[in-house]
Structure 1
Amino acid sequence: MIVPRRKFLILLACGFAFSLLGFAAPVFGVLQYVYYLVLVVLTGVDIAFIPRKKELTVAREHEKFLSIGAGNLIRFRVANKSGFACRIELRDEYPGEMETADDRVILDSAPMSIAAAAYQIKPLRKGDYRFGGVQLRVSGRLGLTARQYRYDIPTDVKVYPNILELKKYLMMFRANRLEQIGYKRPMHGGENEFDFLREYLWGDNYRKINWKATAKHRYPIVEVDEKEYNRNVFTLIDAGRMMTTRYGDLTKLDYAVDASLILAGAASRKKDFFGLLTFSDKVHSYIKPSRKNRVLNEVLSALYKTEADFYRSDYLAAYRYLMHRLRKNSIIFVFSELYDRIVSEDLMRLLRLLAGHHQIYFVSFEEVEEWAKGEDLGSIARKILQEEQIAEKETIVRELSKTGIRTIRVNAENIKQKVVNTYLSV
């Protein structure tokens, strides 16, 4: 299909000026015909030099797994097998469960070459999805017209928890620069137990320089001592109706899942054991605490399958299931939500029971509901209810702290950093 471009429409409109001038002098009427004749010839030349559909090849590329709630790069490579240069405007047919600021990709393609460009897409739900075709609008060298093509290149993709954030954490951990992305640096030393050698970084203790290794490599090498904790780090994730609330772009469960994934990465680098349990009205998944290399893959697979449902969570059933399997004293992060004393009675009981055997950290989301202004009777009543709910929640948190249960207050922006930093501080 041939589509006129904006430049062609502007030039076409300019021709009407000769019609107006033709009332004053007939010669302008002749010039109008000449003008339109030249425009038609140029348009024909422009169309003739636009590459045909069979002369263009389109390929879509992306990571094996996309990350929920993060900007994932979708790359395109367009091979131009013709002898003509062109400008290509590309639009992708992406799944409706994803969003992007701009799905339009512009490429300038030289003759007999391959052009590449990319755009970012943000998935809002985990699961299996399919990209459809790709629409191309190919303009000629003069930019007067374009040919529009559609290429059917369906691509299946899986959306996982935020793997990009995990990769960033592990990369910055290796570079000893976790502070740059908001995480604490793991505590080294204390047991005088040698762990490994690495290149000297700013801030390292110069007394730990290994002079023999330094002379061999010709740059400073330091010894790193690290405590061998062998601790159990465990996450208990409520996937019931209390976690279905949307908190920004994602649900509370999605943020809990992302934080658990980063926590698993941090625990593996600290050589601690990591495990998890997800539940609602029943137990959905359980991973025994482990520090084997495959534990991250097991955690990722379990969290990928975790979806919030609208059943009432059975906290006591989750406790009974866990206590038969987790006998070693552990650091447990509980992801759920308090509402009021009546609704959260079973949750409070679960936390107190766990606190008798383990070190408990309860992760609570800060309220983001818009406060009522109190301008009319309905608004005043709503404001009073909001204040009472907040006050009751604060009372519950204080009561829990008296039994040794620490509450971590988080929001969508800092949940991963706060959870991981709390673990690294223990």
Structure 2
Amino acid sequence: MRKLLRQLFLSKRFFLLSSLLVFGFILAFVFPGWFGIFRWFAALLALLVLLDCALLFAAGKGIHASRELPERFSNGDQNPVPISLQNRYSFPIDYELIEELPEQFQARDFKYSGKLKSGDARKITYELRPTERGIYTFGRLIALVSSPLGLIQRRFSFQGGESVAVYPSFLELRKYELLALSNRLSEYGLKKIRRIGHTMEFEHIREYVSGDDVRNLNWKATAKKAELMVNQYQDEKSQPVYSVIDTGRVMQMPFHRLSLLDYAINATLVLSRVALRKQDKAGMMTFNRKVDNRVVANRRSSQMQRILETLYHIKTDFAESDFARLYTDIKRSLPFRSLLLLYTNFETLDALNRQLPYLKALSRDHLLVVIFFRNTELETFSTEETDAVRGIFQQTIAQKFIFERKRIVRELGRHGIQSLLTRPEDLTVATLNKYLELKARGLF
């Protein structure tokens, strides 16, 4: 009995009719002849409530609902979550679906209402966009069901306690991997780079066609075939490509609820896959007070899984980053020239100058690309219209910080260090562009 009472809820229609009945009894004090009429109405309402209870509770499992959770969610992306609903009653029902979302979303207002005919089934799909890696635990899936009478609701509770791991953006990874396989990367803003000269890695010999570089003519093959033959070259392969992620305090800033660190993690995952598809060796490491989460650059079949798991388990207290420690570690552990894509952030030229000696030392032994971020919120604020003196003053300060970023790019270039200044949401495309550009120019 107690269990049944916990499942029973009074509907808005019941409270509306009860309110009208109470108002009628109040009027009956003024008009005593009405008292008998409203007493019959009260008895009728009680009978209808009992009938409604009998309809809803006669069937043990009058409705079935289930959510279909994937094995993992993709961080920063819209992840679909389908819910299946089936009416097992012999009459049509009204339902209200309540989803207890994981606490990370801080949302307690997910409700979906509708009608279902007897025996009908429906699939409802909603989307979730997680912004943190880790385990997300779902609560119960609750359905409040009412009969055509609509006086009471019966609560059904399903599932609960299911967990999903949120990994770096593998949905974005699949998209760019497909484009890389079909050589259609330019369709997503990845520009085609004009090749300057050519690399010296031989691929095969083919017939000469108009426009080929005559310096590549293969005279021995030409003599054998009695027609012009040329050597075909390809991009050099098996070059080490390391993503170096700063997990210090400068990477804590959020844009669109996703931290700069997670933007860098998502970009690293995609770049590693594309680099492997281009026959290069992909690796990674993170640093703040020390260098850790190291994956040595390699081309083995399990490399992407190792990188994915390492990126998923990155944890940080956003401490101050030690660039001297980074330089010492790379000097000791990377004996061969590699491409280093360093994800960090510099707010001012003074912040860069403190780390510049270590960046210059790294660029002497490796091809270093310093990747840092434009503050899009600051840029938007600096262009807003304002007449107040305080607002103009604040916009002037904002524009000063924006100009400071451009000075950082020039300062890095002055010391021969490659750099990339990009919006957080464009990081993946911009990084891939830079990688393809450097590869096309044969710089590593």
Above 0.5 in TM-score?
yes
Change (3 A) 1:187 1:77: farther
Question: Once structures 1 and 2 are overlaid, which stretch shifts more, 154-163 or 7-16?
Answer: 7-16
Judged with a 3 Å threshold, the aligned counterparts in structure 2 of structure 1 residues 112 and 386 are, in CA distance, closer, same or farther, namely closer
Instruction: Tell me the number of residue pairs that the alignment of Structure 1 and Structure 2 aligns.
Output: 395
CA distance in 2 between counterparts of 1:425 and 1:4 reads: 66
Q: 1:21/1:85 Cα in 2 relative to 1: closer, same or farther (>3 Å)?
A: same
Counterpart residue type for residue 272 of structure 1: D
Aligned residue runs from structure 1 range 198-209, under 5 A: none
1:348 aligns with 2:356: yes
Which amino acid is 1:70 matched to?
A: D
- Identify the residue that residue 252 of structure 2 maps to in structure 1: 244
Alpha-carbon spacing, 1:255–1:99, altered in 2? closer, same or farther (3 Å): farther
Alignment of 1:2-401 (within 5 A): 2-9=8-15, 41-50=47-56, 54-78=61-85, 80-98=87-105, 103-106=110-113, 108-111=115-118, 115-151=122-158, 153-174=160-181, 177-184=184-191, 193=203, 227=235, 229-367=237-375, 368-369=377-378, 370-371=381-382, 375=388, 385-401=397-413
Aligned to 1:205: none
State percent identity of aligned pairs.
Answer: 26
Alignment check: 8 A CA contact 1:87 1:138 kept: yes
> Relative to 1, partners in 2 of residues 1:261 and 1:99: Cα closer, same or farther, differing over 3 Å?
farther
Letter matched to residue 87 of structure 1: D
Gaps of 5+ in 2: 1-6, 205-232, 439-444
- Is the 8 Å Cα contact of residues 49 and 152 (structure 2) preserved in structure 1? yes
Q: CA deviation at 1:93?
A: 1.9
Q: Which deviations, in whole Å up to 9, do the C-alpha atoms of 1:231-253 show, x marking residues without a partner?
A: 22221110011111222301111
Q: SS at 2:56's partner residue?
A: coil
Instruction: Flag structure 1 segments of 5+ consecutive residues without an equivalent.
Output: 195-224
| Offset at residue 98 of structure 1 (A) | 2.2
Q: How many Å apart are 1:111 and its aligned residue?
A: 4.4
The change in CA–CA distance for 1:121 and 1:186 in structure 2 (over 3 A counts) is farther
2:415 is aligned with what amino acid?
T
| Equivalence for 1:198 | none
Asked if 2 retains the 8 angstrom alpha-carbon contact of 1:264 and 1:296, the reply is yes
Instruction: Measure how far apart 1:399 and its partner are.
Output: 1.5
| 3-state SS in 2 of match to 1:123 | coil
CA distance in 2, matches of 1:412, 1:12: 57
Letter of the structure 2 residue corresponding to residue 417 of structure 1: V
Q: After TM superposition, give the deviation of residue 104 of structure 1 in Å.
A: 2.2
C-alpha distance in 2 between matches for 1:187 and 1:54 = 66
Query: Do the aligned residues in 1 keep the contact of 2:352 with 2:408 (CA within 8 Å)?
Result: no
TM-superposition CA deviations, 1:163-205 (whole Å, max 9, x none): 22112323444566545544457999998948xxxxxxxxxxx
Partner of 1:201: none
Tell me the CA shift for residue 89 of structure 1: 2.1
Letter in 2 for 1:250: L
Give 1:392-411 correspondences, 5 Å limit: 392-411=404-423
Distance in 2 (CA, whole Å) between partners of 1:352 and 1:12 is 80
Which secondary structure does the structure 2 equivalent of 1:284 belong to?
A: strand
- Confirm or deny: 8 A CA contact 1:236 1:277 kept in the other structure: yes
Q: Give 1:411's aligned amino acid.
A: R
Amino acid at match of 2:435: Y
How far did 1:67 drift? 1.8
2:430 aligned with 1:418:
yes
Contact (CA 8 Å) 2:275, 2:281: kept in 1 or not? yes
Equivalent position amino acid for 1:242 in 2? V
Distance 1:124 1:290 in 2: 30
Query: Do 1:237 and 1:279's aligned partners in 2 also have CA atoms closer than 8 Å?
Result: yes
Change (3 A) 1:170 1:132: same
Change (3 A) 1:396 1:3: same
- Give the match for residue 4 of structure 2: none
CA distance in 2, matches of 1:141, 1:183: 57
The answer on whether the counterparts of 1:248 and 1:412 sit within 8 Å (CA) in structure 2 is no
**Greater share of helix residues, 1 or 2?**
2
Q: Which amino acid aligns with 1:97?
A: Q
CA contact (8 A) 2:66 2:158 kept: no
Q: Give the residue type in structure 2 aligned to 1:246.
A: P
Question: What does the per-residue CA deviation read over 1:253-303, in whole Å, with 9 as the maximum and x for residues that have no partner?
Answer: 111111111111211222221111101101121111112221111111111
Task: Determine if contact 1:241/1:308 at 8 Å carries over to the other structure.
Answer: no
Amino acid at match of 2:80: L
3-state SS of 1:292 partner: coil
Q: Secondary structure at the match of 2:165?
A: strand
